[in-house]
């Protein structure tokens, strides 16, 4: 099964791209690097430039239905660039329209917010996205005194509100749990087809 990894031309957090990529490959799927333009994407280790990775396909030239799922790596700049590109936002939105699983880590929910797909969903993220998620209609777990502000502080959250699964995680330290959760959901989606 082909799995799309959507990144901007620059700013993706390298570990949030490479660890899920290896997990997808290890599970027998084919990861495909999709970006807003051809060439290479430049990864970062936080704020320091890291490696370049070749783009396989370009948004606007590929359809969500040609994949079995979507991974949105974080990095502060990556989702900020993506949410300003209508073709990238539309590509993300199409995964939800197709009922395909979507996995997002760290700052990546910014792209989900721009695609208007978090309303009524339970998700987690990097802490600074709290207000953005709440304002976009994202929810925390069932309200408790500790969970009233629209973000769940857990390693991984799998939300099945709507026709597809949304898998989110907070940060690089959560990558093991994140990869296990999205691989499980990708496998279930593959069985359903």
Tell the residue number behind the tokens 């069932």, with chain if given. 142
Show the tokens assigned to 95. Answer: 């995964």
Pairing mode of beta strands 48-54, 30-35: unpaired
**Of 34, 52, 54, 33, the residue nearest 43 (C-alpha):** 52
**Of 138, 11, 153, the residue nearest 79 (C-alpha):** 11
**Residues with catalytic roles:** 106-107
Beta carbons within 8 Å of 142's beta carbon, 6+ residues apart: none
């Amino acid at each position: 099964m082909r799995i799309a990894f959507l990144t901007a031309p620059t700013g993706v957090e390298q570990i949030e791209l490479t660890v899920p990529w290896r997990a997808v490959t290890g599970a027998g799927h084919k990861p495909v690097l999709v970006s807003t333009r051809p060439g290479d994407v430049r990864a970062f280790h936080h704020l320091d430039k890291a490696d370049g990775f070749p783009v396989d396909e370009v948004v606007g030239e590929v359809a969500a239905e040609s994949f079995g799922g979507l991974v949105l790596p974080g990095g502060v700049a990556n989702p900020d660039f993506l949410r300003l590109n209508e073709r990238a936002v539309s590509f993300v939105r199409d995964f939800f329209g197709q009922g395909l699983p979507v996995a997002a880590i760290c700052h990546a929910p910014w792209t989900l917010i721009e695609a208007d797909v978090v309303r009524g969903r339970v998700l987690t993220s990097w802490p600074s996205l709290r207000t953005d998620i709440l304002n976009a209609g994202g929810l925390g777990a069932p309200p408790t005194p500790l969970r009233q502000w629209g973000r769940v502080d857990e390693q991984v959250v799998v939300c099945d509100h709507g026709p597809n699964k949304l898998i989110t995680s907070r940060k690089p330290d959560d990558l093991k749990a994140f990869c296990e959760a999205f691989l499980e959901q990708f496998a279930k989606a593959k069985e359903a087809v």
